[in-house]
Amino acid sequence: MIDRDLINRTLGAALRTGGEFAEVFVEDKRSSSAVLDDGRVEELTSGRNRGAGIRVVVGDTTGFAHTADLSAAGLAGAAEAAAAAARGGGGGVREVSVDRVDGSRPMPVRIPPEDVAKATKVDLLTMADAAARGEGSAISQVTARYGDSRRRILVANSDGLLAEDDQVRTMFSVSCVATGDTGLQTGRESTGRTIGFELFDEADVEDMARRAAGRALTKLGARPAPSGAMPVVVGPGGGGVLFHEACGHGLEADLVAKSASVFAGRVGEQVATALVTLIDDGTMAGEWGHFAIDDEGRPAGHNVLIRDGILTDYMWDHLRARKEGRRSSGNGRRQSYQHLPMVRMTNTFISNGSDDPADIVAGTERGVYVAQLGGGQVNTATGDFVFGMTEAYLIEHGEITEPIREGNLIGNGPDVLTRIDAVGNDFAMGSPGTCGKDGQGVPVGDGTPTLRVTSLTVGGTAA
């Protein structure tokens, strides 16, 4: 993306005034999107974002500057600005020679999205709209979204590292609104992969639209959710966001270092039932949080965070790992070249157990079955959370019965881990997501098999 000699000179400029560590991150990202709402194409956009971020570290101080000017003068100016922010004055010259380091490559892209005509992408939207509306006259609104991106990055640093990655992502989603006696009810379905337009060889947008419409229509006849503490069975894939938010963030090393995590200082302790193994894995080919290298140039990792209920490790970026004299776990990520990297999840999930999902439901006399969770709020320092249930059903006498609506799950992440008494053998990843942290968003995935929590508070509206 830029000449190696220019990289070396830029790193040299960053270190000239006494920097201990310097890093150049170059990004060239192209993206396109289309939105159809109420039968009309409301958005059809494309864009490009290109530039470099330069980080210089002196002791515990980090200087950072970014520029859209990738010329020698532009990079030198940013390097000097970052160095000045980290430490003024000093002198001397430190020469750097970088060597290439490559992680495992992402899945090969068979159909680059940029080679596909916009009209073809819009056709997907209109097909989804027609399929959703065909499910019934109660479907009053359909919104379909298409998006793709190609993100090329280069990372070089004063330790001699030089690494590159080429990340292609494609996604599609359908949201439906149904109108009836109970008001407006919604249903949503989405898919996204780190692959090209061949996504639509495996994803049928019309089938997605029918499922989204079906969820909305089902909720028109749903009962209000019950209230109180009860067993909750979480279905495959749809509940992964609970563990991403309520547990995953607390296992990020930066929050641990700030004592802003309930898991701080607990490596080696039992933090969950022995049925629970929690993994963060950026190497999962094709998944939304997959990449070859993280945004500090480190290979993506398969990181077991909790094994058989025992906390084994945290997620690490390069600088925090360096202070501890260990390797990064490949979890240094940033939204763009305009941002500093921080510890972030990739694809976070609870791995398969051995229980039959049907037996888990049959063994639950009364409770709630959650097929899909929506957004929520989490306090990482305490683990307390609230999540909306976007698709849920009553469990009565060991059977899934009536759909319910207007309900939340309320609990504490670490406490939930100790209340899991069954884990199924039907693991699935959930919908693609964007994880927000300190104002930055990055693509992530999450997943679970069917599992049961012995007691969770359901916040419903039923008397």
Same domain for 207 and 305?
no
386/404 same-domain check:
yes
Q: Evaluate whether residue 107 is within a structural domain.
A: no
Q: Is 340 inside a domain boundary? A: yes
Q: Is residue 367 part of a domain?
A: yes
Whether residue 94 is predicted with pLDDT greater than 50 in this model: the reply is no
In the predicted structure, residue 180 carries a pLDDT above the cut 80: yes
**259 and 296, same domain (yes or no):** yes
Is 410 part of any domain? yes
pLDDT tens digits along 403-414: 999 899 999 999
Tokens 């305490």 map to which residue? Answer: 382
- Residue 134, H or E segment: none
Q: Would you list the DSSP string of 82-98?
A: HHHHH--S---------
The tens digit of pLDDT for each residue in 233-254 reads: 999 998 889 999 889 999 999 9
pLDDT at 90: 43
Judged against a pLDDT cut of 60, whether residue 32 lies above it is answered with yes
Classify 269 as helix, strand or coil.
coil
210, part of any domain:
yes
297 within some domain: yes
- What are the b/e assignments for 38-60, b being 16+ CB within 10 Å? eeeeeeeeeeeeebbbbbbbbee
Q: Which residues have a Cβ under 8 Å from the Cβ of 247 and sit 6 or more positions away?
A: 278, 383, 413, 414, 416, 417
Q: How many domains does the chain have?
A: 3
Q: Is the pLDDT of residue 31 over 50?
A: yes
How high does pLDDT run on average in the chain?
93
Asked if pLDDT for residue 372 goes beyond 60, the answer is yes
Would you put residue 218 in left (φ > 0), alpha (ψ -120 to 50) or beta?
Answer: alpha
Residues 91 and 122 in one domain: no
Same domain, 280 and 413: yes
pLDDT digits (tens, 9 = 90+) for 327-357: 999 999 999 999 999 999 999 999 999 999 9
Q: Is there a single domain that holds both residue 236 and residue 207?
A: no
209 and 338 share a domain? no
Per DSSP, helices labelled H in 106-164 are 118-133
pTM of the shown model: 0.94
**CATH code of the domain in which 70 resides:** 3.30.2290.10
pLDDT at 447: 96
Q: Average of pLDDT values for 37-42?
A: 92
**Residue 201 has which token pair?**
């060889």
Whether residue 178 is contained in a domain is answered as: yes
pLDDT tens track for 264-311:
999 999 999 999 999 999 999 999 999 999 999 999 999 999 999 999
405 bridge partner residues: 224
pLDDT band at 379 (very low <50, low <70, confident <90, very high): confident
Classified as helix, coil or strand, 319 is helix
Residues 196 and 271 reside in one and the same domain = no
In a domain, 351, yes or no: yes
pLDDT of residue 460: 86
Residues 274 and 416 in one domain: yes
pLDDT of the residue at 92: 40
What distances in angstroms separate CA 283 from CA 171, 291, 293, 330, one per listed residue?
19, 7, 9, 10
Q: Of 205, 221, 237, at which residue does a domain stop?
A: 221
How sure is the predictor about 463, in pLDDT bands with cuts at 50, 70 and 90? low
Please give the pLDDT value at position 59.
86
Domain that holds residue 188: 113-151+165-221
Question: Does residue 203 share a domain with residue 54?
Answer: no
Is residue 196 located within the same domain as residue 52? Answer: no
Judgement on whether residues 340 and 382 belong to the same structural domain of the protein: yes
Q: What's the pLDDT band for 93 if we cut at 50, 70, 90? A: very low
Q: CA–CA separation, 82 vs 63, rounded Å?
A: 5
- C-alpha 404/C-alpha 459 separation (Å) is 12
107 vs 389, higher pLDDT: 389
Could you tell me the pLDDT band of residue 101, with boundaries at 50, 70 and 90?
Answer: low
pLDDT at 91 over 60: no
